Structure 1
Amino acid sequence: MSSNRSFIYPKDTELTGNDLIEFINYNDSHLKPHYRTNMDYYLGHHPVLEQPAKQTGADNRLVVNLPKYLVDTYNGFFSGIAPKISLDDDKENQKLQDWNNTNSFVDKLNEISKQADIYGKSYAFVYQDEDSQTRVTYCSPSHAFMVYDDTVNREPLAFVRYHYDNSSDATAKGTIYYADASYDFVGPAINPEPTPNLYKLVPAVEFYENEERQGVFDGCITLINELDRALSQKANQVEYFDNAYLYMLGIQLEKDRDTGQPMLDLKNDRFIYAPADTAVNGKIGFVSKPDGDNMQENLINRLTEWIFQTAMIPNMNDQAFSGNSSGVALQYKLLPMKNRASNKERKFVHSLRHLYQIIFSVGTVLPDSSKNKWQDLSFQFTRNMPANIADEVNSAVNASGIVSKETALSLLSFIDDPKSEINRMEKEKDEEMKRVSQLSPAAMDFQKVNSDDEK
């Protein structure tokens, strides 16, 4: 086990049954609790909800689900606009786009990105379906893991997917995928009969944002817990003042003739009564405790501010943020998140290139002669920010003649595939030139358009 929670095994060595079970047990006992805890935070199941109930007084349990806000905001910023994945050759690029669309690859990449934000990492798994077509899906690290070799390059050695059946023995079952073959297993018993691996590579890729495999809110857990506690306590205090007891001291109330008791329900009416023979020193008021509202508000505001700063994600609902919309100021406020997204993009491009290396290796997406085209792939991630279309168009126009058409068009956020847009532009230009030539007086008779045909 490495410092970043990755499994290491000697190179060119297959896992033994005992080592396999040790890896699975470690993943279940040490890593899966962390993954489950992070998912609970994302879903709003925070520890404040599990605290022992109070014996007396108000007992509110409030959860501010900032983990979900942080993950969804950051993931939307990073992959809310579909990344542009393309090849230079038009025919090959069209086949690539067709495969991406058929497999809903952009949607799956978005889920991989979200899992990486929650767990710290996620996996893309490549397989052949019943029609021998190459498909890809995503796997959670709670029931899958990658084993790397012990070289300095840390190359993938094996990928393990496992699950537990509903029997009482809870035996792990799954498959080990190597570069040359895969093997099914039940507990430590590994089936000796291999299934050939068509890809000749380990058919899975790990996606992560940073080498430490930390999620978006891993560094904010204590702050989030304290924010939940502070808000819950504030709600308790508000409820306390709503239910405050009225006291009446030194005053004689009229009594019921039958019972001889005051004509009030002292318990349900939250009433404290201490009579006296005379009302000279009588007092009436509410039992109250010191009001710490300002201190609580300062704590809540400070915790909220530090959660966003630690996660490096701006609070889009903050009045100071939304009220200052000048371009430069907005860029500075988004700078920490942009820096974080840039680091994530570099890691994802590396993983995506390796993923397409596996996908292209069997020749179902591109011909066998093009299986090395994964090296020529272009990846463009566009940050999902409020776009000023007029400024984008001006930037693209100003860039024309300085850079290529494709680069200039890539500056426009509303164009998903610059290559296809160039093809459409050229087709429209050819059709317009053809039409102009047909209408020209100098055109040959056979080139001219028949007015009757036009009608």
Structure 2
Amino acid sequence: METVNGKGQILDGHIFIYPADEERVDIHDLQSFMRRNIQYAQEYKHNMQMYLGNHDILKQQRRMYGPDNRLVANLPHYIVDTYNGFFTGIPPKISLDDEANNKALQQWNDTNSLQDKLSEISKQTDIYGRSFAFVYQDEASNTCVAYASPVEAFMIYDDTVARKPFAFVRYWRNTESGLWCGTIYYADGIENFAGTSVEDTETPNPYSMVPAVEFYGNEERQGVFDNVKTLIDALDKVLSQKANQVEYFDNAYLKILGLDLDEDGDGLPDANLIGNQMIYSPNVDASNADVGFISKPDGDNMQEHIIDRLVSMIYQVSMVANLNDEAFAGNSSGVALQYKLLPMRNMAANKERKFRQALRKLYRVIFSAGKVTKSKEAWQDLVFDFKRNLPINMADEADTLQKLSGIVSKETAFRNSSLIDDPKKEIERMKKEKQEAMEEALKYAPSATDQMKNAGDTNDDEE
């Protein structure tokens, strides 16, 4: 635990704490929190630069002599995109049991592109270790949701055991005045500030709670490649040195020692070799002449070994599977593949539990405005269904659904199938198709009335 100037504290994982008995954050305490978050933002930005491929090796001072290759193995990009695709590649299903509330929920999710925003929140969590989603009302009083990175926002929790949100802060630097400006979201109001002054006017908060939620994959707020950054830097260095060595052999120097190539007496060899990477040292006595290329010891085997070791350790420590590895080639059984993906599945399972909790808090804020569902307490009845994005065998899944028929409910069976996006809608479609089939069968049955048959014939003629 770290104490900042004023009443605030900072826990491990860059978690800001403030006394719960205070009504507002003192402006000087807020400035202290902002300064610390700006310091932490350097680490967040460094992670983003690694994800984008701007690694530290590109910023090092250039060598004065010899080849100077700067190769970047952008494994952070591969690790983040692979893990995020594994976790949210199949969008999670969020539903309610009540039909009317569920219809309103799905419509709101589609209108606000929640699945896309949730995927971006998940990616930010993998890069930075945390991300934020906040709720607001637009000009038409519609409830909307947006996301923010920890580079530009932070959450302040109270000092109780429950660690409830005390305030959410978004900030930016004003380009004209040079002051840090921002907005503080409290449970009972929203304030704007600029520098060390807070505006007198306060905007009411329609949600009666802090309208923001922090998303993270683990309590330590670590990104998915935080533990392997030194290994990635070492891999960049080894690859660059190997490229330098290859270029060195391409530019090898020719040595001509103890051999006089000057016949016209001008002190230069008659052959046009000067300037072509040659070392020339003539000697009248050519009995000990030495002509050849200067070379240094070949460390290719050692370099290949350390490259393989670094790549293996990066995937092993980050717990993200290397899908290009030979272990995933061939006709491995489903159980064998599950074991190979077990570390990544375990990490995703822990992240899913954190995301379920955060999503339930987020929908509690959303429903509190009374614009989405009829019941403000519907957030307690939400059903979340996360599926891992893995290759599927449609024939096996169809066979599994058939075997589950009569053992579990259709909704339960459909919920565990990747072939069906919305179990409730699928059940409604099945009922509708069954009803239409029954009506069609009754229309042409021998026991059908003449009126039904004539109606059917008329429709056929019209068609």
Q: Normalised by the shorter chain, which TM-score bucket?
A: over 0.9
Report the number of matched residues.
450
Alpha carbons of structure 1 residues 12 and 286: separation in structure 2 relative to 1, 3 Å: same
Partner SS for 1:303 = helix
Would you say 1:310 and 2:317 are equivalent positions? yes
2:77 maps to amino acid? K
Any conservation in 1 of the 2:93–2:421 contact (CA below 8 Å)?
yes
Any conservation in 2 of the 1:125–1:204 contact (CA below 8 Å)?
yes
The aligned runs of 1:118-129 (5 Å cut-off) are 118-129=127-138
**C-alpha distance in 2, partners of 1:189/1:146?**
20
Any conservation in 2 of the 1:397–1:408 contact (CA below 8 Å)?
no
**Per-residue deviation, residues 31-75 of structure 1 (Å, max 9, x unmatched):** 101101100100011111111111111111100000010000000
Alpha carbons of structure 1 residues 265 and 422: separation in structure 2 relative to 1, 3 Å: farther
Alpha carbons of structure 1 residues 447 and 231: separation in structure 2 relative to 1, 3 Å: same
Which region of structure 1 is more displaced relative to structure 2, 96-105 or 281-290? 281-290
Alpha carbons of structure 1 residues 313 and 445: separation in structure 2 relative to 1, 3 Å: same
Q: Which residue does 1:430 correspond to in 2?
A: 435
Partner SS for 1:195 = coil
**C-alpha distance in 1, partners of 2:154/2:274?**
60
Matching residue within 362, 372, 375 for 1:365? 372
Any conservation in 2 of the 1:396–1:411 contact (CA below 8 Å)?
no
**Per-residue deviation, residues 333-366 of structure 1 (Å, max 9, x unmatched):** 0000000000000000000001001111111111
The aligned runs of 1:242-281 (5 Å cut-off) are 242-254=250-262, 259-264=266-271, 266=273, 268-281=275-288
Supply the RMSD in Å over aligned alpha carbons.
1.4
Q: TM-score, normalised by structure 2?
A: 0.95
**C-alpha distance in 1, partners of 2:25/2:181?**
15
Alpha carbons of structure 1 residues 441 and 255: separation in structure 2 relative to 1, 3 Å: farther
**C-alpha distance in 2, partners of 1:61/1:399?**
56
Q: How far does residue 194 in structure 1 lie from its aligned partner after superposition?
A: 1.2
Please, which runs of 5 or more residues in structure 2 have no aligned partner?
1-9
Which region of structure 1 is more displaced relative to structure 2, 269-278 or 217-226? 269-278
Q: How far does residue 396 in structure 1 lie from its aligned partner after superposition?
A: 1.4
Would you say 1:213 and 2:221 are equivalent positions? yes
Any conservation in 2 of the 1:70–1:313 contact (CA below 8 Å)?
yes
**C-alpha distance in 2, partners of 1:197/1:67?**
39
Q: How far does residue 401 in structure 1 lie from its aligned partner after superposition?
A: 1.5
**C-alpha distance in 2, partners of 1:265/1:189?**
77
**Per-residue deviation, residues 292-335 of structure 1 (Å, max 9, x unmatched):** 11111110100000000000011111123323532111111000
Q: TM-score, normalised by structure 1?
A: 0.96
Partner SS for 2:280 = strand
Alpha carbons of structure 1 residues 371 and 295: separation in structure 2 relative to 1, 3 Å: same
Q: Which residue does 1:84 correspond to in 2?
A: 93
**C-alpha distance in 1, partners of 2:35/2:61?**
31
Please, which runs of 5 or more residues in structure 1 have no aligned partner?
none
Q: Which residue does 1:47 correspond to in 2?
A: 56
Q: How far does residue 89 in structure 1 lie from its aligned partner after superposition?
A: 1.4
Matching residue within 19, 23, 31 for 1:21? 31
**Per-residue deviation, residues 145-193 of structure 1 (Å, max 9, x unmatched):** 00000000100010001111113x5311111001111001111211132
Alpha carbons of structure 1 residues 366 and 263: separation in structure 2 relative to 1, 3 Å: farther
**C-alpha distance in 2, partners of 1:66/1:263?**
53
Would you say 1:294 and 2:301 are equivalent positions? yes
Q: How far does residue 411 in structure 1 lie from its aligned partner after superposition?
A: 2.5
2:398 maps to amino acid? V
Which region of structure 1 is more displaced relative to structure 2, 110-119 or 182-191? 182-191
**C-alpha distance in 2, partners of 1:265/1:18?**
76
Partner SS for 2:115 = helix
Matching residue within 208, 233, 237 for 1:225? 233
Matching residue within 438, 456, 459 for 1:453? 459
**C-alpha distance in 2, partners of 1:450/1:46?**
73
Q: How far does residue 281 in structure 1 lie from its aligned partner after superposition?
A: 2.1
Any conservation in 2 of the 1:312–1:336 contact (CA below 8 Å)?
yes
Q: Which residue does 2:348 correspond to in 1?
A: 341
1:197 maps to amino acid? N
**C-alpha distance in 2, partners of 1:249/1:143?**
66
2:396 maps to amino acid? D
**C-alpha distance in 2, partners of 1:129/1:392?**
43
**Per-residue deviation, residues 89-139 of structure 1 (Å, max 9, x unmatched):** 122111111111111000000000000000000000101111111110110
Alpha carbons of structure 1 residues 324 and 248: separation in structure 2 relative to 1, 3 Å: farther
